[in-house]
Amino acid sequence: MTEYGSLPFREQIAFFLRKLQLGTQAWTDVYAAEHEVAFMVAGAMKASLLSDLHKAVRSAIADGTTLAQFRQDFDATVAKHGWDYQGGRNWRSRVIFETNVRQSYHAGREAQMADPELKARRPYALYKHGDSTHPRPEHLAWDGLVLPVDDPWWNTHSPQNGWGCKCKKFLLNDRDVARRGLTVSGHAPEIEWEEQVVGARGPSPRVVTVPKGIDPGFEYRPGARRRAETLQAELLRRAEDMPPELAAALKADLEGET
């Protein structure tokens, strides 16, 4: 993705293509790690609309298209379906584009980092703050933090860690650590948990507990597909409450996964 600073790669594309399309009313209908197996756009409850949005995002990820190009596809899809979405056009299209592009990027990178041989050669992970316009204090405080790649802290703090977050995670070896003048931390930062209500104004509010500095819905490590079977079963259960057209499309997707 030219706007994210990387070209698309196989693991990133594969992560997105494995997702099942799920119609939702609110962004809280699919939460946190459930995004590992589900593609959703809040308010997109029509199967053909969701499919066209999926194609637009897929093109952005697989072909490395820019936000400007994605917006052209977004506008065409909105006009085609007469979709009355919530929020301004620029804000809504940016959220859809950036969240999917960045999370698929990080999931692809995590798939690469999971390789045992690579972890043996580069056993440490570095948290690198991005260049967000309004940086979060916690993300700035984590900049330069080096921990063992398998430290449990990464399960909740691997980027992306919030809406618009541009932080990244890199693997290092001892020479990298010395060359950059860094230090491998003996202990991960203490996690301060906060209870928050999300989606309070929508049809699907929920109370969640997240680490301080992590936006609700981002408190998981992208690409950790060990929960995929459980999540797919949950999505299938939800199909019972979906419009028939969307339920049939989701079930067909699930059958194709088996």
Structural tokens at position 13: 């594309």
User: What's residue 241's pLDDT?
Assistant: 67
Rounded to 5 degrees, what angle do the CA atoms 111, 112, 114 make? 65
Question: Each residue of 229-258: pLDDT tens digit?
Answer: 666 666 666 666 666 776 777 667 666 654
Lowest mean pLDDT among 36-40, 129-133, 156-160: 129-133
Q: How buried is residue 240: exposed, middle or buried, by Cβ count under 10 Å (0-12/13-18/19+)?
A: exposed
Where in the chain are the domains?
Answer: 1-113+225-258, 124-223
User: What's residue 257's pLDDT?
Assistant: 56
Query: What is the rounded distance in angstroms from the CA atom of residue 200 to the CA atom of residue 140?
Result: 29
Q: What is the mean pLDDT of the chain?
A: 89
Query: What is the rounded distance in angstroms from the CA atom of residue 247 to the CA atom of residue 200?
Result: 26
User: What's residue 214's pLDDT?
Assistant: 97
Query: What is the rounded distance in angstroms from the CA atom of residue 194 to the CA atom of residue 210?
Result: 5
Q: What is the mean pLDDT of residues 218-223?
A: 93
Query: What is the rounded distance in angstroms from the CA atom of residue 221 to the CA atom of residue 181?
Result: 27
233 half-sphere exposure, CB direction, 13 A CA radius: 4
Question: Each residue of 52-77: pLDDT tens digit?
Answer: 999 999 999 999 889 999 999 999 99
Question: Each residue of 173-201: pLDDT tens digit?
Answer: 999 999 999 999 989 999 999 999 998 77
User: What's residue 3's pLDDT?
Assistant: 41
pTM of the model: 0.86
